Amino acid sequence: MSRIVYVNGEYLPEEEARISIFDRGFIFGDGIYEVSAVLGGKLVDCDAHLARLERSCGEIRLDLPWSRAELIAIHEELIKRNAIDEGGIYLQVSRGAADRDFAFPKDVAPTLVMFSQARNLSEAPAAKTGIKVVSCPDLRWARRDIKSVNLLGPVLAKQFAAESGAQEAWLVEDGVVTEGASSTAWIVKGKTLISRPLSNKVLPGITRKAVLAFLAETGFTFEERTFTLDEALDAEEAFITSANSFVMPVVSIDGHTIHNGAPGPTAIRLREIYIDFARKGGVLG
């Protein structure tokens, strides 16, 4: 069935939606995106996603003409028009359409495209079995903290994962795991969760932030540090977090079995707590 999507102020059937061939998102990857989850017809942690959108746009000097309230209203309209119960809303803003020239064009309005994707998130079959991960070199640029639409590195990594029978790729640089191709990477040792510090090398995950906010109620502690691939292979548990996967157990890395090949109790517990939080709209205090 055809979706209703949003393009530059209009809600249209997806077949009728158009952007210019000169759009700088298309020509240069000169744009920013966000993905917010929808659960029970409600946006999850959307404010935090829009705060990150504003930050990413600021970092590339793209002035956003829409307020947070206007963007939330478009999200909600897409949920309504497409009757989305579970899934996500994709938002992409580019620097607009202008004849091809690298430097910023003058007096050009940004392009805003948004669409919904219906998806089973809370009962995703992968959460029952856990996912397989393969490692590959991190080929991305130096500003991974910006959620840029330049995604060729992650595209190649995900394709490698798919061809290897895995569902996610863990990107490795200088011997340490930076993050998943489209997720934050975590390992577990005893009662300690380990994930690397935020920097220009990784995207500051909104799901990561929410998980850290729960730690007090789980009895786990957090060690914010890098970890090597060898350490991950030896970990008691591993998992990923993202808006699409929430908390997803990892049961194999490069063919090495993690936690006997079954989702571990830590990932299962954190997933339950996260889904509870998400059902309430995911608003952190």
CA distance 184 to 196: 9
Site string for ligand PDD, 81-110 (x = CB under 6 A): ------------------------------
Total count of residues recorded for the chain: 285
237 lies in the binding site for ligand PDD (CB under 6 A): no
135 lies in the binding site for ligand PDD (CB under 6 A): no
203 lies in the binding site for ligand PDD (CB under 6 A): yes
* 81 alpha-carbon distance from chain centroid: 24
Nearer to ligand PDD, 97 or 238 (CB): 238
Which among 175, 173, 226, 220 has a CA at the least distance from the CA of 197? 226
Give 156's Cβ-side CA count (13 Å radius): 9
CA distance 24 to 102: 9
Q: How does DSSP assign 160-188, residue by residue?
A: HHHHTT-SEEEEEETTEEEEETTBEEEEE
166 lies in the binding site for ligand PDD (CB under 6 A): no
Interaction residues for ligand PDD, span 21-50 (CB under 6 A): 35
147 tagged catalytic: yes
111 lies in the binding site for ligand PDD (CB under 6 A): no
183 lies in the binding site for ligand PDD (CB under 6 A): yes
Nearer to ligand PDD, 90 or 104 (CB): 90
Q: How far is the CB of 202 from ligand PDD (least distance, A)?
A: 6
Q: Which of 82, 207, 252, 266 binds ligand PDD (CB under 6 A)?
A: 207
195 lies in the binding site for ligand PDD (CB under 6 A): no
148 lies in the binding site for ligand PDD (CB under 6 A): no
| Catalytic choice (147, 201, 209, 280) | 147
Which among 247, 225, 249, 254 has a CA at the least distance from the CA of 238? 249
244 lies in the binding site for ligand PDD (CB under 6 A): yes
CA distance 61 to 122: 36
161: left (phi over 0), alpha (psi -120 to 50) or beta: alpha
- In which residue are the tokens 């158009």 written? 18
Q: How far is the CB of 260 from ligand PDD (least distance, A)?
A: 27
The residue ranges that bind ligand PDD (CB under 6 A) are 35, 179, 182-184, 203, 205-208, 241-244
Residues with catalytic roles: 147
